[in-house]
Amino acid sequence: MVLCVLVALVSTACGSRLPDDVLESIDAGNRSGDTTGTEAQGTTGTSTANGPSASENSPGTAVAGESTTNGGGTGPSGGGGPSSGPVAVASKCDDAKSDAPGVTDDEIKVASIVTDSGPLPGATEGSFRGAASYFAMVNANGGVCGRKVTIVKGDDGLDPAKARGEFLRLEPQVFAFVGNYAVADSGYSNLIGPSGIPYVSLSVDPAGREARNVFPRTATGYVNTGPMVYLKQKFPKVKDAAVLYANIGAVAANVPGFQAAVKKAGFNLKYSAGAEVTSPDFTPEVRQAQEEGIDFFYLFAFEVNMHVRMVRNMRQQNYNPPIKGSNIAFNTRFSQLLGKDGDGWLNHNAHLIFLDPTERNRSKGLAQFLDWNERVFPGAQLDLFPVSGWGRAALFTEALRKLEDSITRKGLIDALYTIKRFDGGGIESPIDPTTGLGEACFNMAVHKGGRWVRSYPADKLYECSLGENFKFK
């Protein structure tokens, strides 16, 4: 399902466009050395055979590791250390030369711009952590192309102007952007294509998705109806649905696809409305749902603190509909804040249900993901954002290994387009990254006993036969 699942942030920042005079001022400032933001400062992990030492708040981390997007490798042994990727092997790019930005004889430097400060600090910072953890694994296994991979973090602060400044600051000094999840990337979306830099990242702003150097591709206008078909089959008597979404421009732009899936599955979408992200109380929304007899209550892109407030208001009003669904509640923070009060919520995913402790045995790639994220960023929140960064780091690494005589930006982009299967480093439902489409696969997690566990399907990783990739526009 092509959903731009964003955290709840200030609506004036997300999806907004900067006026031409503002763009000119920012660009001039960066050309003269007056950059927005600074080079990554603070604790920086050091690449070692055992992985880096880094704190959750490290702005930049020198890390790497070698694995394929199929997530090969072995599980941890002995004292519970991280599972490693495959043992480093010689590749054609080991002796490749390069004069590309960010590439030396012993290092390949990349950057990840995320939303780490502003109204909700750390909002999408997990994408940087996911990429950094994957590269830690790469470096621990000898690096790639005879070099270690280092990654620095940019921060858009949920401000398009700052986002543009970060792009202009980082682009000349790095080989690629990997694992970006910048909610305010509308500030630089028009720079991505002309720059020619490999952008192995999600472009939140739809305007940034068309450039050839943005990879994997996004299949716009399609929605996977499978999760909604499953819910309709499981709850055949449920009829009336309401969809509440974080009232942010970039979120609202992605709601129509989900609305189409709800209706296609046979529910009556009685209403859909935006919820203010700064609202301290959602009692009015709860009462409206009660008054209108909503028995399928869905929260789209509700950041975890918003979701917690909603759950508490629902309990105060004794509102407990048969279906309580969400697309980004699946995270460790949800369970920590709500415990058993969060039970009954459902979350559909296009990745493995990694918060279920029984799940790690289903995939070597998942064991790697869990082990390396915990080693590099102990105790940090796990949600869809580290999944995104980890997977794009895996894709970047696979393409890099395909290079031969020289390491160039254009060569890497061309290599990316030879990859026809992408499974997020062994933890996501496979797609063709050159189109953004795959089978209409999903799984469902339920919050039960104060934690997230697998609900459906029980006997396989994903259900791929119930729905379709529905062309809704």
The percent of residues in the chain predicted with pLDDT above 70, rounded, is 81
Largest CA distance in the chain: 69
Q: What is the pTM of this model?
A: 0.84
What is the reported pLDDT for 34? 45
Residue type, position 128, single letter: F
- Average pLDDT of every residue of the chain: 85
Name the residue among 105, 211, 134, 123 with its Cα closest to residue 392: 134
CA distance 146 to 192: 28
Give the domain ranges of the chain: 222-356+439-471
Segment 141-164 mean pLDDT = 96
Q: Give 432's pLDDT tier (boundaries 50, 70, 90).
A: very high
What is the reported pLDDT for 220? 84
Residue type, position 418, single letter: T
Question: Read out DSSP for 233-292?
Answer: HHSTT--EEEEEEE--HHHHTTHHHHHHHHHHTT-EEEEEEEE-TT-S--HHHHHHHHHT
What is the reported pLDDT for 363? 87
* Helix, strand or coil, per DSSP, at residue 436: coil
pLDDT per position as a tens digit, 420-431: 999 999 999 999
Tell me the HSE value of 401 on the side-chain side, using a 13 A CA sphere: 19
Contacts of 466 (CB under 8 A, 6+ apart): 226, 229, 230, 233, 440
The percent of residues in the chain predicted with pLDDT above 90, rounded, is 72
What is the reported pLDDT for 473? 83
pLDDT per position as a tens digit, 172-199: 999 999 999 998 999 999 999 999 999 9
Q: Residue 319 phi/psi, 5° resolution? A: -105, 115
Segment 311-340 mean pLDDT = 97
Q: Residue 451 phi/psi, 5° resolution? A: -155, 165
pLDDT reading at 460 higher than 60: yes
- Check: CB of residue 203 under 8 Å from CB of residue 254: no
pLDDT per position as a tens digit, 70-125: 333 333 333 334 455 555 556 789 999 999 999 999 999 999 999 999 877 888 99
pLDDT reading at 440 higher than 60: yes
What is the reported pLDDT for 464? 97
Task: Specify the range with the lowest mean pLDDT, choosing from 35-44, 337-346, 435-444, 456-465.
Answer: 35-44
Q: Which residue has the higher pLDDT, 277 or 217?
A: 217
- Residue 166: its H or E element: helix 160-170
pLDDT reading at 148 higher than 70: yes
Facing residues of 454 across strands? 445
- C-alpha pair distances (Å), 364 with each of 84, 99, 154, 425: 10, 36, 30, 10
How distant is the alpha carbon of residue 369 from its chain centre?
14
Whether a cis peptide bond, with omega within 30° of 0, leads into 172 is no
CA distance 461 to 353: 9
- CATH T-level topology, domain 222-356+439-471: Rossmann fold (3.40.50)
Q: Which residue has the higher pLDDT, 84 or 351?
A: 351
pLDDT per position as a tens digit, 9-38: 333 334 455 656 556 666 666 655 444 333
Q: Give 57's pLDDT tier (boundaries 50, 70, 90).
A: very low
What is the reported pLDDT for 204? 87
Residue whose token pair is 């490290």: 58
Segment 312-339 mean pLDDT = 97
pLDDT reading at 201 higher than 50: yes
- Check: CB of residue 223 under 8 Å from CB of residue 258: yes
CA distance 75 to 85: 9
What is the reported pLDDT for 21? 57
pLDDT reading at 213 higher than 50: yes
Q: Which residue has the higher pLDDT, 87 or 126?
A: 126
How distant is the alpha carbon of residue 45 from its chain centre?
22
Residue whose token pair is 């509909």: 321
- C-alpha pair distances (Å), 151 with each of 58, 112, 401: 11, 7, 18
Which residue stretches of 343-408 are H helix? 364-376, 384-400
